[in-house]
């Protein structure tokens, strides 16, 4: 299953790396690609990933869902 999300708070490549690492901690998430220019990310997962779980992982890393 492919998912796309918008993220606020990213300003540099370090931010993109932190977001990628945060999303990769979620169970079943793989192939994370962060698009700094468009403030978003795309990833694949074995099943639907709960939006609240995504928000919590991003929040812990210092970012937020748009």
What's the confidence (pLDDT) of residue 66? 94
What pLDDT digit, counting tens, does each position of 13-63 carry?
999 999 999 999 999 999 999 999 999 999 999 988 999 999 999 999 999
Distance CA 55, CA 58 (A): 5
Q: What is the pTM of this model?
A: 0.93
Looking at residue 48, what is its pLDDT? 87
Q: Which of 65, 66, 13, 38 lies closest to 26, judged by CA?
A: 65
pLDDT at 20: 98
| Architecture of the structural domain at 2-65 | 2-Layer Sandwich (3.30)
**Residue ranges of the domains in the chain?**
2-65
């Amino acid at each position: 299953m492919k998912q796309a999300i918008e993220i606020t708070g990213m300003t540099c490549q370090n931010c993109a790396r932190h977001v990628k690492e945060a999303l990769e901690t979620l169970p079943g998430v793989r192939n994370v690609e962060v698009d700094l220019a468009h403030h978003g990310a795309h990833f694949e997962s074995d099943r639907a990933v709960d939006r609240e779980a995504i928000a919590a992982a991003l929040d812990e890393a210092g970012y937020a869902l748009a």
